[in-house]
Amino acid sequence: MVKIEKMHKDHIFISYATEDSLFANWLTFKLTTEGYKVWCDRIKLLGGESYPRDIDYAIKNQTFCFLALLSHASIKKPNPLKERTLALNIARDRGIDFVIPLNLTGLKPTELDWTISDLTFIDFIDWGQGFANLLNKLKRLNSPCWPETGKSEVTKWFNLNTLPLKKDERLWSNIFPVLAIPAIFYKFSFHKKILDIGNIQEKWPMYRINNNEGCAFVNPNENLQLNYNRVEEIQWGVVEKCSGVKTQNIVQNLFHRHIIHHCINKGLKLSRGKKRLYFPSNIITDDKIYYTNYSGKKTYTNTTGIRNFRVANYQKEAIRYHLSPKFSPKIINDGNHFVILNLSIVLTDNNGNFLETKSAFRKKKKICKRWWNHEWLSKMMAVVSWLSDAQNEIVLINDNTARMSVSTLPILSNIGWGLDETGDANIILKESENILDDLSREEDNILEEEDYEE
């Protein structure tokens, strides 16, 4: 009986919290590729027997080793806690090395439950190095392994569950069509040299040719009190150059300045060096944009948020992130003009000071590491909804002489193939959908966790 029982103890059981399911999926595929039989409740029939209905029986009688995925989310959740307790009792009763804790989020020993705080865990802050260390551990334990079949099992799973189907699939872009643009711009001459050009361009979208000349679609703001003459009207679609500069380039520059001008009028600020637009705190109630997302659901997203980072001497440093849109207009000869919108974040400390470039880059990566395509798309739709006051276009110029506007609906594409997202096996795709009902709720969960500076 003992030999038969041992033969059946050939599976690796993965215990985790829902918040760590993407990592659990990745680990399941990686281990199976190496030839191990893995039980992960969200990826079934992959490299072993079907996921057991009686989990307690499976852990007691059919599991060779138990991987406990430890994170801020899993240490107190009932199901992972119950599974870990059972596995630890088995390890003590049998006197075997049965439980392998994997530290996903840099938990300190003092943050762990007392039952596992004395176990040696494998650090998975770096997934690649963590996986290499896990493989070494499994080899030392002589964990059952079938390397000759692992890759074929993973390939079989993907072939069965992720082959494209013949169906309509909608693809979203970050490209927004230009709906209206003036056919002419004006050349201005100034009675004295323009010295404070940066301040003037924030208040009046103007392309400077030199210190005494510039181009614009509209007359300067009266508050600027500029002494000028409007000396020439230029039909830029016909005239190729103005004062030696391509008119197409002038128009593209002016369009960009009008977008910045519109954003500043709405309350956005320019970062240090005036390189990036960003949402400052408190220009919107609770720093939340309420809008209808791309799936047609009403929700909201945060324009700013706070993350805590561990610095020297275990002190906490609160960093505020600000959503930062970047617009890139493209003026095309064929008349199909458009604007590309990319999103990033700008970081400040509690006093509103911008972070140094090197430190900011590391922190940006940590803050955005869980923002997948659906988050970025939804944040993008929130930004254009706010800039347009929830209308169908962002109006940049609207007077008796000119009109300029951009659509709030990006360019869409339809293809005749897609993935079947209805089955249990397509868990990686389903993970993306789970957040769409309330994106901001997921953001709030993220903000409550800590990251640790290395």
pLDDT at 4: 35
Cβ atoms of 81 and 116 closer than 8 Å? no
pLDDT at 180: 96
Structural domains of the chain, with CATH = 2-161 (3.40.50.10140), 175-181+268-452 (no CATH)
Res 372 pLDDT > 60:
yes
Res 428 pLDDT > 90:
no
C-alpha 432, offset from chain centre? 11
Q: State percent of the chain over pLDDT 70.
A: 88
Q: pLDDT per residue over 331-368, tens digit each?
A: 998 889 999 999 999 999 888 889 877 778 888 988 88
Contacts of 296 (CB under 8 A, 6+ apart): none
Tokens found for residue 205: 């979208």
pLDDT at 443: 35
Which position has the higher pLDDT, 50 or 143? 143
Res 318 pLDDT > 60:
yes
pLDDT at 88: 92
Q: Which of 227, 129, 180 is nearest to 407 (CA)?
A: 180
> pTM of the predicted model, to two decimals?
0.63
Which of the 8 DSSP states describes residue 406?
A: E
pLDDT at 162: 61
What residue type is 300 in one-letter code?
A: Y
**CA 211 to CA 190: how far, in whole Å?**
8
**CA 392 to CA 214: how far, in whole Å?**
32
What residue type is 443 in one-letter code?
A: E
What are residue 123's phi and psi, to 5 degrees? -75, 125
Report CA torsion sign: 321, 287, 409, 207. negative
Res 245 pLDDT > 50:
yes
Q: State percent of the chain over pLDDT 90.
A: 50
pLDDT band, very low/low/confident/very high, at 133 (cuts 50, 70, 90) = very high
Q: pLDDT per residue over 231-243, tens digit each?
A: 899 999 999 999 9
pLDDT band, very low/low/confident/very high, at 46 (cuts 50, 70, 90) = confident
**CA 378 to CA 440: how far, in whole Å?**
10
- Average pLDDT in the 150-173 region? 80
**CA 382 to CA 371: how far, in whole Å?**
15
Kindly report the length of the chain.
Answer: 454
**CA 281 to CA 314: how far, in whole Å?**
27
Give strand pairing partners of 228.
190
Q: pLDDT per residue over 100-116, tens digit each?
A: 999 998 888 778 777 77
- Average pLDDT in the 80-94 region? 91
Q: Which of 142, 127, 117, 145 is nearest to 33 (CA)?
A: 145
Among 175-184, 243-252, 253-262, 355-364, which is the least confidently predicted range? 355-364
Which position has the higher pLDDT, 403 or 430? 403
The β-bridge relationship of strands 450-452 and 304-310 is: parallel
pLDDT band, very low/low/confident/very high, at 441 (cuts 50, 70, 90) = very low
- Average pLDDT in the 309-317 region? 77
pLDDT band, very low/low/confident/very high, at 423 (cuts 50, 70, 90) = very low
pLDDT at 44: 76
* Mean pLDDT over the full length of the chain: 84
Cβ-based neighbour number of residue 128 at 10 Å: 8
Res 282 pLDDT > 50:
yes
What residue type is 116 in one-letter code?
A: I
- Average pLDDT in the 87-107 region? 91
**CA 354 to CA 349: how far, in whole Å?**
7
pLDDT at 163: 64
